[in-house]
Structure 1
């Protein structure tokens, strides 16, 4: 019996040595340096417009493509109430108004990443106007929203008023990014180093954004282009409304020139495709004019809407905001004047305008373009390198290691067996 025990022990010991050598060899052959998957970065931008505020949360992989993060929209949250400029007399309310959306944003960002999330607020038309009228009130409103954002576990980077040029430029980046118009010819899946200066790209898409309405109502006229005041009287006069809108533009400065818009500003001929979003889209969506209707149909629809009485409109649209409903006539005529008389679209080129608010799952607007620019400033994280095996070799090594452990346990039990 003792001899039999020694024999089995020797066999197991030999098997252990053989299995250990095989497992060691499998663990050492064909080892490659591989990188771990990139971590996900997040960023958030408040769009504080004239009529409302929205928060957008974006995410992108930390390794990025050509130093520009491949950004996608994760969350869109509309702040309740009017734009922050409406809180000029009560700045504290401006800060409180954004809390709900901030709390929703933190629910989609992992807790371990929240404190590194860059958070920005960009204010546009309403705050630009408030700054002109009352600069101290504008500063107080921005200070309060900044104070609120600093209370949350995010990397607050600032609240500021964007210029009209910045808003337009970032919107242009957004649209062309979402439509993949910044694609290099030599690499279909790559985007250029900086989207503002493409080197070798497909034809980009122009855009039209509508940042300010020429008026609000009879008692509260607003500034239009060139700081010209106008008050529209609610007379149901479609032609009178259009004539009043045209007073906002100084077309006489151009004379007979065909390459001039208004105030003597150079306007090249329109060509290519155009995306009309923001208030362009919302106003035409309300009038059911975003389905590619011909220009003649658009004119007729707007004229018919503008001749309707207030009693008729309020009865036909009971769920529409009563403060917004009377503005659609003025806004639509303002848009038409800007597109036809200023930018010189006509019956043919009108078909090149697409009224659209989303491209894929992302909202069209300036915030994504802003975020793209910001990610271009964030240094790319160095990839994490580790040693790796082919899956089949790794599985085989694990199998032999397990067999070695099982036989080792069997040998131990055999030695203890008397």
Structure 2
């Protein structure tokens, strides 16, 4: 039989293979090893198995369970200190330590009124348009196995980390997290979203550099993990956060039908998530156990359908429609408003690059487009609908808006947030009926630039971007309704196929 020997204690000695037999002892293997190495026997070393079990020196290889082809390791022998211990003295010491521990536990109980102290944690949401760090706390004694998190404080910085230099990313993150923690020791978790997903697809080396800079900056503050979240995970987290904040989770009734679906309109992607029945099957379904109850959540993310990237696609769309002219008429900007953008700003993006645009950009690297608004709400909605139509989208792009592959629950209610909320909040329209909102938005989108600025609900900061966002938002809102209707029709067709 052949046994492989490797000296872990002496890395300078090369591994070797010894030919022997099952009746040979562990001592004979050691002797053969030292003889082949040409060095003196070292009594401090012994043979160990891969699982770190020592081999008795005088026992046969067969009795020790060593088989041909096995690898044994030479390691330093364990010092038998436990056999030399004074067990009586050790017992006395252990008793004293136990009494001190009991005394300290009693003092802690009295000082806290019997409550388990709070545990803290920091979550850094590194989005495509801004970064937000939030400090949470929850009691160490979790409720039904899950902590009830309460927000303590938060800090924001403008700009997504995907658009920053690694050094600035590190400085901004360190400043935000250090300000939150103060003297608190807490684990820090960073999750980057769609902006970094896009960058990771186009410039993976740059994405790695930014993530490494973030890790280096936050490690002194207790960083546990820094990752680029998948779109699916982002959707699941959106669903969980929504239902936790509206206090649907944790539930006392034991029914999951009351949970809300989530519509998250971000900067570079849109997430849709909703609960599904136990018989639904899809790779996009995640099972969660929260507060002792199980939930099944379908979540999907649509990359390039956040407000920043869909705006970029819209501009690319009307440029192509108007054959790459220097002056482009935009139906989604108010009449009387003009602005300039370079071709690189529009086409050097994962969400807008195509073989045609890439070829055109190589031929016109310094091109600048002038956009002139004509304030046509109907044409704007039509253009946005083209971007949302999967059949039209697939003619140019690989990331398109597809209906979910599982039945949408009938009567499901949804919470829409992020850019959905910001737009409605700016108009003071969060409680406005849908028809009224659509009429008001059409009025603002169709107004001239001067008229739009005088409307009572017009925000004062970044107004031209707001109007475009509003017009695109209406298109997205209408499409979200169409999206759910289409999904429901597909669900009914699957449940009731034609005879």
After TM superposition, the score normalised by the length of structure 2 is 0.50
Alignment of structure 1 residues 184-203 onto 2, 5 Å: 184-185=251-252, 200-201=255-256, 203=258
Map Cα deviations across residues 37-82 of structure 1 (whole Å, 9 max, x no partner). Answer: 2011000011111111111110001111121111111112111x21
The equivalent residue for 1:175 is 242
- Structure 1 residue 235: deviation in Å? 3.1
- Structure 1 residue 310: deviation in Å? 3.9
**Stretch moving more, 238-247 or 33-42:** 33-42
- Structure 1 residue 234: deviation in Å? 3.5
Q: 1:205 aligns with which of 245, 260, 263?
A: 260
1:131 aligns with 2:200: yes
Unaligned runs of 5+ in 1: 1-32, 189-198, 254-260, 346-418
- Matched residue of 2:137: which SS? strand
Higher helix share: 1
- Matched residue of 1:181: which SS? coil
43 and 183 in structure 1: CA distance in 2 versus 1, 3 angstrom threshold = closer
Cα distance between partner residues in 2 of 1:92 and 1:343: 43
Map Cα deviations across residues 213-245 of structure 1 (whole Å, 9 max, x no partner). Answer: 211466544879999999997432211211111
264 and 64 in structure 1: CA distance in 2 versus 1, 3 angstrom threshold = closer
Larger relative contact order (CA 8 Å, sep ≥ 6) = 1
305 and 225 in structure 1: CA distance in 2 versus 1, 3 angstrom threshold = farther
Map Cα deviations across residues 323-365 of structure 1 (whole Å, 9 max, x no partner). Answer: 74353234313422332221239xxxxxxxxxxxxxxxxxxxx
- Structure 1 residue 308: deviation in Å? 2.9
- Matched residue of 1:69: which SS? coil
Cα distance between partner residues in 2 of 1:91 and 1:336: 36
- Matched residue of 1:76: which SS? strand
226 and 201 in structure 1: CA distance in 2 versus 1, 3 angstrom threshold = farther
Cα distance between partner residues in 1 of 2:207 and 2:464: 23
Alignment of structure 1 residues 10-25 onto 2, 5 Å: none
Count of aligned positions: 282
The equivalent residue for 1:94 is 169
296 and 170 in structure 1: CA distance in 2 versus 1, 3 angstrom threshold = same
1:340 aligns with 2:417: no
The equivalent residue for 1:407 is none
Q: 1:78 aligns with which of 156, 162, 170?
A: 156
Alignment of structure 1 residues 153-164 onto 2, 5 Å: 154-164=221-231
Unaligned runs of 5+ in 2: 1-108, 267-305, 316-340, 358-368, 393-399, 487-499
Cα distance between partner residues in 1 of 2:124 and 2:384: 31
Q: Is the 8 A contact 2:441 2:471 kept in 1?
A: no
Map Cα deviations across residues 291-325 of structure 1 (whole Å, 9 max, x no partner). Answer: 1x222112112212212334555677674136743
**Stretch moving more, 313-322 or 158-167:** 313-322
After TM superposition, the score normalised by the length of structure 1 is 0.59
- Matched residue of 1:180: which SS? coil
Alignment of structure 1 residues 208-357 onto 2, 5 Å: 208-211=263-266, 212-213=306-307, 214-216=310-312, 219=342, 220-221=345-346, 234-250=373-389, 263=402, 265-266=404-405, 268=408, 271-291=411-431, 293-313=432-452, 319-321=460-462, 324-344=465-485
43 and 248 in structure 1: CA distance in 2 versus 1, 3 angstrom threshold = same
51 and 41 in structure 1: CA distance in 2 versus 1, 3 angstrom threshold = same
Q: Is the 8 A contact 1:182 1:201 kept in 2?
A: no
Cα distance between partner residues in 2 of 1:295 and 1:225: 30
